[in-house]
């Protein structure tokens, strides 16, 4: 399997984040306009602050300067995943059971491309939601992204 840049960076960065008592939620490596951005999203119980982001940024920057895994110039950004945090790892689907989530699919599934409901969990590689008074099981292979949702 060919490792993506996000996976490669994630495996390099994860120990640095973890040793600070933080969780690496997501890694995004993306070109916007003429510039490349490496975005790291970190979290901890109670949320992260500027000191957490700054500490991770400095440590990761030093490590990436030494290892040089990214061929072109990029801008490093470290931040909280925000209120609508993505769910990616199996542990996320356990941790946030009962929470309101939104699932976006890559193509139409049962007539829709977006589903919001309370997360039942990840069962047999399907994301199961309580949706409009019924359960819906969405296969992970058709899911583009899943994130927490806020009710206003």
Distance CA 101, CA 148 (A): 4
Architecture of domain 90-148: Roll (2.30)
**How far does CA 8 lie from the centroid of its chain?**
15
> pLDDT digit string (tens) for 103-150?
999 999 999 999 999 999 999 999 999 987 899 999 999 999 999 998
Q: If you classify domain 5-79 with CATH, what class do you get?
A: alpha beta
Q: Where are the domains of the chain?
A: 5-79, 90-148
> pLDDT digit string (tens) for 13-60?
999 999 999 999 999 999 999 999 999 999 998 999 999 999 999 999
Which pTM does this prediction carry?
Answer: 0.82
> pLDDT digit string (tens) for 62-111?
999 999 999 899 999 999 999 899 999 899 999 999 999 999 999 999 99
């Amino acid at each position: 399997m060919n490792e993506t840049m996000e996976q490669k960076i994630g495996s390099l960065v994860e120990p640095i984040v973890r040793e600070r008592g933080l969780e690496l939620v997501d890694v995004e490596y993306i070109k916007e306009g003429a510039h490349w951005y490496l975005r790291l999203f970190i979290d901890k119980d109670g949320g992260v602050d500027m000191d957490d982001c700054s500490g991770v940024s400095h440590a990761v920057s030093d490590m990436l300067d030494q290892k040089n895994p990214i061929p072109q110039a990029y801008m490093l950004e470290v931040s909280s995943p925000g209120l609508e945090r993505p769910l990616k790892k199996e542990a996320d689907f356990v941790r946030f059971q009962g929470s309101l989530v939104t699932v976006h699919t890559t193509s139409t599934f049962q007539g829709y491309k977006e589903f919001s409901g309370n997360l039942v969990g990840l069962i047999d590689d399907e994301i199961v939601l309580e949706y409009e008074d019924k359960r819906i099981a969405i296969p992970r292979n058709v899911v583009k992204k899943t994130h927490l949702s806020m009710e206003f």
